[in-house]
Amino acid sequence: MAIARLAKDEIDTLLAELPEWRLRADKLAITRNLKFADFVEAFGFMTKIAIHAEKVDHHPEWFNVYNRLEITLTTHDADGVSQRDADMAKWIEAQL
C-alpha cells in the first residue's frame, strides 16, 4: 500500500465539494453516474478521461451502456480512496 488513503473526514469534505459523487457502500471508492445525449457523446467523454488518466497514471473503473456512464474512482495501490481519486473527480467535474 504505497499511497495513503484519505481519512473519513477528508472524504466527507471532498464529497461536500462534489455533490454529484457518492461514497460506495464499502467506502473504498467514490462513484458518479452520468447521462449523455447518445453513445458518441458518452464515449467521447470517456476518451477525454482516458487520455488524462494515462497522463496522470490514474485510471477509472467504469461501466457504459449507450448514453449512460457509471464512473468509479478508487486507488488500487491504497486499497481505498486517495488524493488521486479526489484530483480525478475534480478534473472530471471541470470537464462537464
Residue whose CB is less far from ligand H2B, 1 or 40: 1
- The grid coordinates of residue 7 equal 481519512
Residue whose CB is less far from ligand H2B, 38 or 54: 54
Within 8 A by CB and 6+ apart from 22, the residues are 15, 30, 31, 32
Residue 45 Cβ vs ligand H2B, minimum distance, rounded to whole Å? 18
The residues that touch ligand H2B, with contacts defined as CB under 6 A, are 57-59, 74-77
Residue 72: strand, helix, or coil: strand
Residue 12 Cβ vs ligand H2B, minimum distance, rounded to whole Å? 21
Within 8 A by CB and 6+ apart from 8, the residues are none
Residue 20 Cβ vs ligand H2B, minimum distance, rounded to whole Å? 19
